[in-house]
């Protein structure tokens, strides 16, 4: 059954966030702050590991980089598109709108931060992209099942600091990963291992940015960089038409 991995992932986020909300009241503020910083460090480490493993290669016994031009162009063009659409602000407005529909005591003051932070963290990673593609192309759920475990644990910690907004982030995860799974059926001829690797690398860089924001406050508009993940697909199409392109 295609999509089972995403369904399981969605349910684990809701379950983990529920546990986090239940223990939220039992944690002193200093514990919440320290735990949130720890999550930020872990997120940065995961992002750096994914990015470096994709961009760094050994050639003739020496360390070199690959996909550099693709990465730069994807981030720059993705920023232009994302800023034009103002995705970050739209995500904030969506979070505020959902918050307004909920009882004030239940939503709390951190609902929007929890919703936006968790949505981007759970959606932009390499595991979300590769796992959804594997689910759609090969019916392989193993990557998304592993991601479900990680997201479940992360949602407990996030929700213990940011509240119920983390649980609501399960909805974008369902739409995003489910959409990739369905779209993979259409894009099957184009989705080479190289292209998937490139998308994962760009996604990993955005995870690093999320970690920076969690540690140092909102410094980077990660939401406005989200289109960058999909520019490798456009470059692959152009490369198939113009093989001489240096991308």
pLDDT at position 72: 92
pLDDT at res. 117: 87
Q: What is the pLDDT of residue 187?
A: 76
Q: What is the pLDDT of residue 169?
A: 94
pLDDT at 63: 76
Q: How far apart are CA 214 and CA 54, in angstroms?
A: 24
pLDDT score recorded for residue 77: 96
For residue 83, the model assigns a pLDDT of 94
pTM of the model: 0.79
65 CB-side CA count, 13 A: 10
Q: What is the pLDDT of residue 35?
A: 77
**What residue ranges of the chain have pLDDT lower than 70?**
25-27
pLDDT at 99: 84
pLDDT on residue 177? 92
What is the predicted pLDDT for the residue at 25?
65
Position 27 scores a pLDDT of 66
Q: What pLDDT score does 246 carry? A: 75
Length of the chain equals 247
């Amino acid at each position: 059954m295609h999509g089972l991995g995403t369904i399981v992932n969605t349910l684990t986020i809701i379950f983990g966030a529920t546990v986090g909300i239940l223990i939220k009241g039992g944690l002193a503020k200093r514990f919440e702050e320290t735990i949130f910083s720890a999550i930020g460090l872990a997120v940065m480490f995961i992002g750096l590991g994914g990015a470096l493993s994709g961009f760094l290669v050994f050639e003739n016994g020496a360390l070199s980089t690959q996909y550099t031009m693709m990465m730069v162009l994807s981030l720059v063009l993705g920023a232009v598109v994302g800023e034009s659409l103002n995705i970050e602000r739209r995500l904030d407005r969506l979070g505020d709108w959902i918050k307004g529909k909920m009882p004030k005591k239940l939503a709390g003051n951190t609902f929007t931060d929890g919703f936006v932070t968790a949505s981007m963290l759970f959606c932009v990673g390499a595991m979300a992209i590769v796992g959804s593609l594997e689910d759609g192309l090969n019916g392989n759920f193993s990557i998304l099942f592993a991601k479900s475990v990680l997201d479940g644990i992360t949602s407990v910690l996030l929700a213990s600091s940011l509240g119920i907004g983390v649980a609501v982030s399960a909805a974008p995860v369902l739409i995003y990963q489910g959409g990739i799974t369905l779209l993979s059926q259409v894009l099957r001829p184009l989705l080479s291992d190289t292209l998937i690797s490139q998308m994962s690398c760009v996604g990993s860089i955005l995870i690093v940015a999320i970690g920076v924001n969690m540690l140092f406050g909102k410094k980077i508009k990660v939401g406005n960089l989200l289109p960058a993940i999909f520019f490798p697909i456009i470059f692959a199409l152009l490369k198939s038409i113009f093989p001489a392109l240096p991308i």
